[in-house]
């Protein structure tokens, strides 16, 4: 039986420990050479450069560097075969697509049972993709609710990316990467009120209802 090297990247220690315990106990499918941990995306990138992991479990919302950016950086190294599976409490369409676009081989929820966890590992190590049922339904378009309605309303003509100012595009990129208005203001060295104003103008120009609409526009225009 081949021994696997895995990395678990999550900012919650209880989650990391829980996955390690789940994989270690009564597992007749896999043996593990090592199980490393990372508490943020930056740490995950550093460890991925040091070790040739068979699989990396990557949380999406982490401090310093989120899982989407960490996945993108790790997968940019074409000399390594690190396979990444997104790990999240949520199944928002924009997060799923962002992780897939960044190079993740699958997407599972944190409440996944041990049986499905093992199935996901086996599927991905065999070179296939794996998505939990709820995630797969989102990808198939079988969803309801406001957040997943089309980002652009048919009542106005579709806005082109060129119609946004450079600053608005910069703010939109940060919004799409899950920065809050306060964090954006700090990063761009602008006031919170200025960022609020930029966000308001972007929403009006794009004719979207919410943050999900902004993120979808960013994805459709290759801003993330």
Q: Which of 16-20, 139-143, 177-181, 215-219 has the highest mean pLDDT?
A: 16-20
Q: Where in the sequence is the domain holding 183, given as residue range(s)?
A: 147-220
208 and 121, same structural domain?
A: no
Q: E-strand spans in 22-141?
A: 31-38, 55-59, 83-88, 106-109, 130-131
Of residues 213, 162, 171, the one with CA closest to residue 196: 171
Specify the CATH number for the domain of residue 20: 3.40.50.2300
Q: Tell me the per-residue pLDDT of 90-107, one tens digit each, with 9 for 90 and over.
A: 777 788 888 999 999 999
DSSP helix/strand/coil, 112: coil
- Quick one: 50 and 119 in the same domain? yes
Q: Which residue has the tokens 């009542």?
A: 155
Dump pLDDT digits (tens) for 103-117.
999 999 888 888 888
- Sequence-distant (≥ 6) Cβ neighbours of residue 218 within 8 angstroms: 172, 173, 175, 176, 224
Given a contact cutoff of 8 angstroms between Cβ atoms, the answer to whether 111 and 84 are in contact is: no
> Which of 91-100, 144-153, 182-191 has the weakest average pLDDT?
144-153
Res 134: pLDDT: 77
- pLDDT at res. 160: 60
pLDDT at 153 over 50: no
- Kindly list the distances between the CA atom of residue 192 and the CA atoms of 176, 181, 222, in Å, as whole numbers in the listed order: 17, 7, 26
Can you tell me the mean pLDDT for 37-62?
Answer: 95
pTM for the whole thing? Answer: 0.62
Number of compact structural domains in the chain: 2
CB 129 within 8 A of CB 105: yes
Which residue among 72, 106, 140 closes a domain?
Answer: 140
**Residue with the larger pLDDT of the pair 61 and 211:** 61
Shared domain for 76 and 58, answered yes or no, is yes
The separation between CA 165 and the C-alpha centre of its own chain, rounded to angstroms, equals 27
Same domain? For 127 and 85 the reply is: yes
Whether residue 154 sits in one domain with residue 134:
no
Mean of all residue pLDDT scores within the chain: 83
């Amino acid at each position: 039986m081949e021994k696997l090297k895995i990395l678990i990247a999550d900012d919650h220690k209880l989650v990391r420990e829980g996955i390690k315990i789940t994989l270690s106990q009564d597992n007749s499918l896999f043996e593990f050479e090592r199980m490393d941990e990372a508490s943020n995306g930056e740490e995950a990138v550093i460890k991925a450069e040091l070790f040739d992991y068979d699989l990396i479990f990557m949380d999406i919302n982490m401090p310093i560097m989120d899982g989407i950016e960490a996945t993108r950086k790790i997968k940019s190294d074409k000399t390594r075969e690190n396979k990444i599976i997104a790990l999240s409490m949520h199944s928002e369409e924009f997060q799923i697509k962002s992780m897939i676009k960044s190079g993740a081989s699958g997407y599972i929820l944190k409440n996944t049972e041990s049986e499905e966890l093992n199935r996901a590992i086996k599927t991905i190590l065999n070179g296939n993709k794996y998505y939990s049922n709820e995630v797969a339904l989102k990808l198939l378009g079988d969803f309801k609710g406001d957040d997943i309605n089309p980002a652009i309303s048919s009542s106005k003509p579709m806005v082109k990316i060129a119609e946004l100012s450079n600053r608005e595009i910069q703010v939109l990129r940060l919004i799409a990467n899950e920065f809050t208005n306060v964090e954006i203001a700090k990063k761009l060295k602008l006031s919170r009120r200025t960022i609020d104003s930029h966000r308001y103008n972007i929403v009006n120009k794009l004719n979207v209802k919410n943050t999900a609409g902004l993120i979808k526009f960013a994805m459709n225009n290759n801003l993330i």
